[in-house]
Amino acid sequence: MKNVKISDRELLLLYKQGDEQAFSMLLERHKDRVYTTVYLIVKDKYLAEDLLQEVFIKAITMIKADRYKDEGKFLSWILRIAHNMAIDQYRKAKRSPIIMMEDGSNIFNTLAFSETSFEDVQIKQDTHDLLKVLIKELPDSQREVLVMRHYMQMSFQEIAASTNVSINTALGRMRYALINLRKKLQQNTVAYDPKLYPT
């Protein structure tokens, strides 16, 4: 079976009939987007791993119990589950903050102390790694809009309705998120421009 030729709807139909290969394809197709969404909300890789598992377990349970009614929006549905679970976790974690190590592990699980510093950010020259750090540093409201627009593929109108704000507020948050990211990307690029720091 070629992954690209079969729609989510067809894969779901096959999966409901017991075809595990169909589920494997669905998972392969959407796992990174779901993981990125929860990771950028909870900002902790271990928690994000648990959430990824919980999200798909919930989806599997609902599909196999025939409680999922497919309207051709599987990705939106699973991303909504992921978003809700991640927001719940994030709020819980905020109420009882855990001090994390730079690799995302709990400080109480290790003896060596280290903190994510600006220097750590600077040495991550790769744009992917840098974006990962910089998105995490955005204020919650800006990060939420960015995640919803880019990874949950929601329109600004939908984001405004979902977050109970006006469309102008949602647009303003996105605008500041982009401005902040661009500024920080420029700062980090300039900081490690080899032309400025010849060896």
Partner 1 sequence: MTLNFTPHDALKCLYKEASNETEEKINIARKEYPSFNNEVLKLQSLVCSLDLFLIKAPVNTVDRILQYSKNKQVKSA
* Positions that interact with partner 1 (CB under 8 A): 16, 18, 20, 23-24, 27, 31-36, 39, 45, 49, 52-53, 56-57, 60-61, 64-66, 127-128, 131-132, 135, 146, 149-151, 155-156, 168, 171-172, 174-175, 178, 181-182, 185
Bridge partners (DSSP) of residue 106 are 100
Query: In the structure encoding, which two tokens stand for residue 153, read together?
Result: 């593929």
* CB closer to partner 1 out of 80 and 132: 132
Q: How far is the CB of 172 from partner 1 (least distance, A)?
A: 7
**Residue 27 or 75 having the CB closest to partner 1:** 27
CB of residue 95 to partner 1, shortest distance in Å = 25
- DSSP tag of 151: T
* Alpha-carbon gap, residue 81 to 97, rounded angstroms: 23
Alpha carbon dihedral 28, 33, 34, 36, in 10-degree steps, equals 130
| Of residues 147 and 199, the one with the C-beta less far from partner 1 | 147
Cβ closest to partner 1, residue 16 vs residue 96:
16
Give the helix ranges, DSSP H, for 43-166. 45-64, 74-95, 118-123, 127-137, 140-150, 156-162
